[in-house]
Amino acid sequence: MASLTEYKKKRRFNKTPEPGPEKKTSELGNIFVVQKHRATQLHYDFRLEADGVLKSWAVPKGPSLDPTVKRLAMQVEDHPVDYADFEGVIPEGEYGGGTVMVWDYGIYAPENTRSVAQSLAKGELKFSLLGQKLKGSFVLVRTRDRQWLLMKHRDKYAKDEDIAETKPVSAVTKRSLAEIAEDEGGNVKKAATGDPKKLPRRTGVKRRRKGAKRKVWAH
């Protein structure tokens, strides 16, 4: 049964701007999001909506469109559906402290199953993504405990490019990690280590007025 107990236990919501631990379903009911996260180490958080939460995996090198590449994906605690909209800065000293980007988002469809939870319990979930960057058929396969592999199937969307390098900025605001940190009061120098070396200055939207909210896409 999906639970947000661990998510709640790890966070102080009077300190972090992350959404609270509320179980709910998005309007679409089948969203996915990939969040580029510069915490202690740069990684990508891959999340699929199921049973009122976002099932989540940390993918150190990011998803790949190359069917020959097997990406390590470490399963982490379930996150609330509202987390799909979170782009900003988790304060230093808090769990996961650092800059978070909505790197990709969209909807997904499970393949050959009626229950995402049952497929995950069995250790294999095949699904199709329709995102801004990631499209086509993928599979998650558990190798042991929390350790999974995320792989792209061969289809018309398969490519041998490193999409994490060729499309590095936010799918929502077009900002780099450093720009998000600058706009949200984070550590710009630390965030910049997660950006490609040759990004044009201010690739994204202008600095938002403090407290302003962007349009919510997920609900």
Q: How do the pLDDT tens digits run along the chain, 219 residues long?
A: 468 999 999 999 999 999 999 999 999 999 999 999 999 999 999 999 999 999 999 999 999 999 999 999 999 999 999 999 999 999 999 999 999 999 999 999 999 998 999 999 999 999 999 999 999 999 999 999 999 999 999 999 999 999 999 999 999 999 999 999 999 999 999 999 988 877 777 777 765 544 444 444 554
- For residue 80, being part of any structural domain is answered with yes
Whole-number pLDDT of residue 214:
44
Q: From 23, 2, 119, 124, select the one nearest 73 (Cα to Cα).
A: 124
- Burial (CB < 10 A; 0-12, 13-18, 19+), residue 122, is exposed
- Separation of alpha carbons 86 and 67, rounded Å: 29
- For residue 24, being part of any structural domain is answered with yes
- Separation of alpha carbons 89 and 185, rounded Å: 7
> Would you say 218 and 81 are in contact if contact means Cβ atoms under 8 Å apart?
yes
- Separation of alpha carbons 89 and 18, rounded Å: 9
- For residue 200, being part of any structural domain is answered with no
- For residue 191, being part of any structural domain is answered with no
Residue 63: domain span? 5-186
- Tell me how many domains the chain contains: 1
- Separation of alpha carbons 93 and 119, rounded Å: 36
Whole-number pLDDT of residue 1:
44
- For residue 155, being part of any structural domain is answered with yes
- For residue 202, being part of any structural domain is answered with no
Please give the model's pTM, rounded to 2 decimal places.
0.92
Q: Cβ–Cβ contacts within 10 Å for residue 67, how many?
A: 17
Whole-number pLDDT of residue 208:
53
For residue 35, give every residue at least 6 positions away whose Cβ sits within 8 Å of its Cβ, in sequence order, or none: 44, 45, 47, 86, 87, 100, 101, 102, 103
- For residue 62, being part of any structural domain is answered with yes
Tell me how far the alpha carbon of residue 56 is from its chain's centroid.
8
| Inter-CA distances, 57 with 33, 45, 73, Å | 11, 6, 5
> Would you say 161 and 65 are in contact if contact means Cβ atoms under 8 Å apart?
yes
Place of tokens 């709640």: 8
